[in-house]
Amino acid sequence: MSGRPRLIVDCDPGHDDALALVLADVRADLVGITTVGGNAPLIDVTRNALIVSQVYGIDAPVHVGSARPLVAEPRNALEIHGTHGLAGPVLPALERTVASDAAVEWIIETTRADEGIWLVPIGPMTNIAQVLRLAPDVADRIAGVSFMGGSGGVGNHGPVSEFNALVDPEALHVVLTSPIAEVRMAGLDLTHQFVVDDALERDLRAIGDVGGTFAADMIASYLEAMVGRSGRRQGGLHDPCAVLAVTDPDVITSTRRHVGVELRGELTRGMTVVDQRAGDRATNVAHGHTLDHAAARRIMLDAVAARADVTGGGS
């Protein structure tokens, strides 16, 4: 046993998901990867998870999860991540295959067999909600949930709604109202502090080799999308923050808060309501609010550098 945290990352790659997977595999024991429809349709995010695993030498099995939210109609973010969810880099011919089409069942089986695994959802929470509904006992067997989603401030897909929470707010509600003792939230108010800009692309490209170039090309594409959305070549590196909250908790400062998610509001559906009032109140989440950006950025760059040339292809 390595003593490193054991993670299952549930994702919808997605540029920032891709970097979160590299970080998870370098900084923790990545037990498995599960996919969920989100940034792109399930078939695309699953292919992307396999490609990222191949490019960065990640051996964790990939299990296919939910194609659509619990209740809502599916929605994607193709305008950000591209037509198939991983615009920018030249994608290699796919050599990997999925381990199963039953991510929810696999998570249940794995967390029942091996206590103390962290669930790290960085896409819509559909798979995690289904796990908790089918196997409530899992809540006491996992180390916790560290998720990227919601916001203690502004949204990104609407004034107050963050994408992952907006795609499946019912699923997020299941997690936020579950008995899981340790739930860590990396919302936009935290993840926007992990700045994606030309300097990050430059530093990734300077790593060189296949992995450095692949990451830089993803960031370049992401920055183009940010210009299209906001007119600025800057964004937040969202998903790696949920991994760092487990692997490198000292880079994030959090406060115990009560967090709920709006399910019915015409203007506010998918909004996470973080109760930041003082006072002795029931809490359900460690709300991450301050990031040590320099430290997080160094850890991220070092993780990409550690996997830049696993294919031996060099560039």
Residues that are catalytic: 238
- From 105-113, 160-168, 199-207, 272-280, give the range in contact with ligand RIB by CB under 6 A: 160-168
Which of ligand RIB, Ca ion, none does residue 257 bind to, with CB < 5 to 8 Å depending on kind?
Answer: none
Please give the Cα distance from 249 to 286 (Å, whole number): 11
Q: Which of 35, 39, 161, 221 binds ligand RIB (CB under 6 A)?
A: 39
- From 9-17, 84-92, 222-230, 273-281, give the range in contact with Ca ion by CB under 5 A: 9-17
Contact flag: residue 163 with ligand RIB (CB under 6 A):
yes
Contact characters 228-257, ligand RIB, x per CB under 6 A = ----------xx------------------
Please give the Cα distance from 38 to 162 (Å, whole number): 12
Contact flag: residue 85 with Ca ion (CB under 5 A):
no
Judged by CB under 6 A, the number of residues near ligand RIB is: 16
**What 3-state DSSP class applies to 94?**
coil
Residue 144, CA distances (Å) to 37, 47, 272 in order: 22, 27, 19
276-300 exposure pattern, b = at least 16 Cβ within 10 A, e = fewer: eeeeeeeebbbbbbebbeeebbebb
User: 76 or 178: whose CB is closer to Ca ion?
Assistant: 76
Question: In angstroms, how far is CA 66 from the centroid of its own chain?
Answer: 15
Query: Encoding tokens for residue 161?
Result: 């709604």
Q: Report whether 124 contacts 147 (CB < 8 A).
A: no
* Least Cβ distance, residue 113 to ligand RIB (angstroms): 28
The residue among 192, 182, 123, 183 whose CA lies nearest residue 151 is 192
* Least Cβ distance, residue 91 to ligand RIB (angstroms): 18
Q: Which of 10, 17, 209, 217 binds Ca ion (CB under 5 A)?
A: 17
Contact characters 45-84, ligand RIB, x per CB under 6 A = --------------------------------x-------
Q: Which of 37, 89, 121, 123 binds Ca ion (CB under 5 A)?
A: 123
Query: Encoding tokens for residue 156?
Result: 């990104």
Please give the Cα distance from 130 to 137 (Å, whole number): 13
Positions that interact with ligand RIB (CB under 6 A): 12, 14, 16-17, 38-39, 77, 122-123, 148, 156, 162-164, 238-239
